[in-house]
């Protein structure tokens, strides 16, 4: 079916046929042991459009057992074969991009264009790590003539992947693709509001040639399905992407088993604009740094740290651009889609209301709203809060929505202090025409990734991750394989 036909069928019926319904364990769909089910909402209309299995510890136990058996096969599969399977997964993802993108848009609320970006990015991740699968070599070590010594890079074993709802496909694939390249098996727990594409990708991997049991998916809530997964002692590495609060809980849960952990947590990333920067470039950069995916991005540029001399001209342009953004149902492909849930909409409203009560100047937006075309759905107006102090809660707390906080500076030291002035350290953008300023700031800013003159520059080839409360460990790039391999040293007396 064409994309247009899929979309018109959905709007006519309020449902999509052929959605996966159950967990994916040992190469096939299986219902929850309890038979319990959960509903999934279309955030653009605030209506239920599907249901799925509500997993519990029993389902998780089956999935981990399946992954243990899958690991025994996959770790001994030739690296060149792993490479071929991942390449085929990429090809299938591209061939089925329409279906995957429609489901992703509907489940998350994001625009169709953003959903296509997520799917194509996932296909690229499979390709990239396919290229790594047959290059995970150890090294030969010179101990002199009495010994021969070398290292092996071994897969760590069964890995668990806890995924949030903002980029359901690519966050999943940036974890499982390097894990599979390394020879690990996986159990995935997608977010409870976006369960479908994880199930679809797991099934697609089987068609690409992955042996049954190597990738398993259990759907359900964090406490019911996520918690038993991360504390299972058979899991040897957990890759968790989500909030700081849950991440800290996961860290405590894995401690007794001494399980490896990657934490990709929140952010409050600055876009720092110096006086010599081009005002139009800064305004356009800041617009998409915060309003892409309705601000629901861990690395969103949620703070504009701007020189006093540039403030008025940039803010005038930015407010005009922000108020001109069209928002609406994701499948109609507006500039900005819906928020993922009613609960999340309420949380964002709370942040903005408290700012209003504190007397913060709101330059535009500031209200929860609906799709202007239908009066339905969970939306929030593009919002800009001006001239905030360094300790304002709207600067210190992650809002994770379309809300930009502006901070004004007078010199470079102040810019740096403001940029580094939260407990997060995930990403940062610098706008200046002066290469020395750019390099000085890039070195001194505490962040996992820094871009210059294009906030979203970069790609899956570069490592991604945070410092301080933004987490630890790196995904993407060749560094992304490190968590899934361990070195073994072998020495022979000659
Ligand atoms: P969340 O922490 O509520 O949930 C994330 C995932 O954890 C979900 O799948 C959830 O079901 C699961 N979970 C909840 N409780 C659990 C438990 N006790 N044990 C195991 N799993 C559990 O986060 P969220 O609200 O869904 O996502 C938004 C947050 O994620 C934001 O803070 C955002 O910055 C962060 N995030 C970070 C990155 C990154 O790469 N750094 C990327 C995307 C999102």
C-alpha span between 60 and 393 (Å, rounded): 38
Tell me the pTM: 0.97
Half-sphere exposure of 231 (CA within 13 A, CB side): 13
* C-alpha 242 to ligand 1 mean position (Å): 2
C-alpha span between 422 and 425 (Å, rounded): 8
| Lookup: tokens for 308 | 């006093």
Residues 280-329 pLDDT 10s? 999 999 999 999 999 999 999 999 999 999 999 999 999 999 999 999 99
Task: Taking residues 45-68, report their average pLDDT.
Answer: 98
Q: DSSP characters for 273-313? A: E-TTS-HHHHHHHHHHHHHGGGG--TT---EEEEEHHHHHH
The pLDDT value given to residue 286: 98
φ and ψ at residue 375, rounded to 5 degrees: 70, 15
Residues 255-269 pLDDT 10s? 999 999 999 999 999
Confidence of residue 204 (pLDDT cuts 50, 70, 90): very high
pLDDT at 384 over 90: yes
* C-alpha 241 to ligand 1 mean position (Å): 5
pLDDT at 1 over 90: no
Instruction: Report the candidate in 92, 145, 138, 93 with the shortest Cα–Cα distance to residue 118.
Output: 93
- Residues with a catalytic annotation lie at 264, 298
Nearest ligand 1 atom to alpha carbon 192: 11
Nearest ligand 1 atom to alpha carbon 229: 20
* C-alpha 264 to ligand 1 mean position (Å): 9
Task: Taking residues 102-112, report their average pLDDT.
Answer: 97
Provide the sign of the torsion angle of the four alpha carbons 228, 37, 205, 71, taken in this order: positive
List, in order of start, the domains of the chain with CATH numbers.
Answer: 3-265+471-490 (3.40.605.10), 270-459 (3.40.309.10)
Nearest ligand 1 atom to alpha carbon 298: 34
Residues with CB under 6 A from ligand 1: 162-166, 171, 189, 191-192, 221-223, 226-227, 230, 241-243, 246, 249-250, 264-267, 298, 398, 400, 426, 466, 471
Residue closest by Cα to atom 42 of ligand 1: 298
The three-class DSSP label of residue 22 is coil
Task: Taking residues 44-67, report their average pLDDT.
Answer: 98
Dihedral in degrees, nearest 10, Cα atoms 26, 32, 34, 39 = 170
Residues 425-456 pLDDT 10s? 999 999 999 999 999 999 999 999 999 999 99
Dihedral in degrees, nearest 10, Cα atoms 138, 143, 144, 147 = -80
* C-alpha 177 to ligand 1 mean position (Å): 20
Nearest ligand 1 atom to alpha carbon 344: 25
Residue closest by Cα to atom 6 of ligand 1: 164
Residues 320-356 pLDDT 10s? 999 999 999 999 999 999 999 999 999 999 999 999 9
Give the rounded distance of the alpha carbon of 45 from its chain centre.
24
| Lookup: tokens for 294 | 């309705």
C-alpha span between 334 and 293 (Å, rounded): 11
Query: Residue 210 carries which DSSP code?
Result: P
* C-alpha 62 to ligand 1 mean position (Å): 23
pLDDT at 278 over 90: yes
The pLDDT value given to residue 17: 87
The pLDDT value given to residue 89: 98
Mutation test of ligand 1: which of 164, 267, 344 has the most ligand atoms closer than 8 Å to its C-beta? 164
Residue closest by Cα to atom 32 of ligand 1: 243
């Amino acid at each position: 079916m064409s994309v247009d036909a899929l979309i018109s069928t959905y709007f006519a019926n309020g449902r999509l046929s052929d959605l996966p319904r159950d967990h994916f364990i040992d190469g096939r769909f299986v219902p929850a042991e309890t038979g319990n089910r959960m509903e999934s909402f279309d955030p653009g209309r605030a209506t239920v459009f599907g249901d799925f299995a509500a997993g519990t510890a029993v389902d998780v136990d089956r999935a981990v057992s399946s992954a243990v058996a899958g690991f025994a096969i996959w770790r001994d599969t030739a690296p060149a074969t792993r490479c071929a399977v991942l390449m085929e997964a990429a090809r299938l993802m591209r061939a089925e991009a329409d279906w995957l993108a429609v489901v992703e848009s509907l489940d998350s609320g994001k625009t169709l264009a953003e959903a296509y970006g997520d799917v194509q990015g996932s296909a690229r991740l499979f390709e990239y790590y396919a290229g790594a699968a047959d290059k995970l070599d150890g090294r030969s070590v010179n101990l002199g003539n009495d010994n021969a010594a070398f290292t092996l890079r071994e897969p760590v074993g069964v890995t668990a992947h806890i995924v949030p709802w903002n980029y359901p496909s690519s966050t999943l694939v940036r974890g499982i693709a390097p894990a599979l390249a390394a020879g690990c098996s996986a159990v995935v727990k997608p977010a409870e509001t976006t369960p479908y594409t994880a199930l679809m990708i797991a099934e697609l991997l089987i068609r690409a040639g992955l042996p049954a049991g190597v990738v398993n998916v259990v759907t359900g809530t964090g406490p019911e399905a996520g918690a038993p997964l991360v504390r299972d002692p058979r899991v040897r590495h957990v890759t968790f992407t989500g909030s700081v609060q849950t991440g800290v809980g996961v860290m405590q849960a894995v401690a007794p088993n001494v399980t490896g952990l990657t934490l990709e947590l929140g952010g409050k990333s600055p876009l720092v604009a110096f006086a010599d920067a081009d005002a139009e470039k800064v305004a356009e950069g800041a617009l998409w740094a915060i309003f892409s995916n309705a601000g629901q991005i861990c690395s969103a540029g949620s703070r504009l740290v701007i020189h006093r001399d540039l403030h008025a001209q940039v803010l005038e342009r930015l407010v005009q651009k922000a108020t001109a953004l069209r928002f609406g149902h994701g499948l109609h492909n507006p500039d900005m889609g819906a928020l993922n849930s009613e609960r999340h909409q309420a949380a964002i409203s709370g942040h903005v209301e408290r700012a209003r009560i504190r007397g913060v100047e709101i330059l535009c937006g500031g209200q929860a709203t609906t799709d202007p075309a239908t009066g339905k759905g969970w939306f929030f107006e593009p919002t800009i809060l001006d001239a905030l102090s360094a300790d304002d809660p709207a600067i210190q707390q992650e809002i994770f929505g379309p809300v930009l906080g502006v901070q004004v500076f007078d010199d470079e030291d102040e810019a740096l202090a403001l940029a580094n002035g939260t407990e997060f350290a995930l990403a940062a953008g610098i706008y200046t025409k002066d290469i020395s300023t750019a390099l000085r700031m890039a070195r001194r800013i505490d962040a996992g990734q820094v871009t210059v003159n294009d906030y979203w520059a970069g790609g899956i080839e570069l490592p991604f991750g945070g410092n301080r409360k933004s987490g630890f460990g790196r995904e993407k790039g060749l560094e992304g394989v490190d968590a899934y391999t361990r070195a073994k040293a072998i020495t022979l007396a000659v």
